[in-house]
Structure 1
């Protein structure tokens, strides 16, 4: 069975966006960029909320990004190779290939997708990931914690829900970012 992995960047105070919906406080460097590319290389399907999908779709729709460097070209290639499932009530069509739109998050359908997938899946978008965490579908969280406090915004983990995690691994990067790998206990 494939794993469902929640991957996200968050501030030291636990937010994925500040109060204005911005996440420009994330200065990506090559070392972290390579980590993301390597992680996504083994993933066959990305499950996205609409806003994250629209932010990531540029890796297919804007060829100028890949032309900036070999690292960016590699990431674009890896991103484009995976299937995408976008959960949205407003999006009418996808701007990228191999992408389907679902109107609502269906835990049974995601469980079936995990059971039949030949490679791992990632889930992105804090609201969507919260639903998957609450449904007990997430097998691993890979949280990249950035050394900044934004003071409020959209939390990276569900509120009002108690989930106990087991630390699997940690890694520190030269720019002060820390990757924390957790598994929800009982899974």
Structure 2
């Protein structure tokens, strides 16, 4: 069975985006950017909700061709394009860059994908991750906490009907006071 991880940047007060979908507070250091790039390189399949897909696909397919692109950005763009992706959306009609579109029930499809052979999966996007979280499908949470309070926006965690017990498996400090905490779900 494939492992499913929910990994995102979040503010200290628990948001993945500030009001107005502002992500300006989460600009990564070079070291953190490399960590994200290595994560993309190791991901067997990325699962995206529509909004995160639109954000990523508006920049990364051609980021390596932009004037002044750094070697790290060039590497990330290549890894992102090469990584197999599934977009879950009832409003998007086409996807590109090694991506498949799913318009049906996300929980059913994620359950099926977890049962397949293959490398680890990452889920991204608040709505999609919330559905997977409520269904008990997430095996690991990789939380990259930035030392900023944004006061509202899109929360990382959703309301749950039951407790989810977790075990801490890693902590790491990045420049600028950013802290990674990784937790596995105890089953």
User: C-alpha distance in 2, partners of 1:106/1:152?
Assistant: 26
Counterpart contact for 1:66–1:76, Cα < 8 Å: no
TM-score, scaled to structure 2: 0.92
Matches of residues 50-69 of structure 1 in structure 2 within 5 Å? 50-57=50-57, 58-65=59-66, 68-69=69-70
Matched pairs, number: 185
Counterpart contact for 2:63–2:74, Cα < 8 Å: no
User: C-alpha distance in 1, partners of 2:11/2:141?
Assistant: 15
- Secondary structure of the 2:164 match is coil
Aligned to 2:110: 110
Aligned to 1:76: 77
Aligned to 1:12: 12
Aligned to 1:28: 28
Matches of residues 18-167 of structure 1 in structure 2 within 5 Å? 18-57=18-57, 58-65=59-66, 68-94=69-95, 96-161=96-161, 162-167=163-168
- Secondary structure of the 2:136 match is coil
Shift of residue 112, structure 1, vs aligned partner: 2.1
Shift of residue 66, structure 1, vs aligned partner: 8.6
Shift of residue 6, structure 1, vs aligned partner: 0.7
User: C-alpha distance in 1, partners of 2:140/2:72?
Assistant: 26
The gaps in structure 1 that reach 5 residues or longer are: none
User: C-alpha distance in 1, partners of 2:104/2:141?
Assistant: 22
CA RMSD of aligned residues (A): 1.6
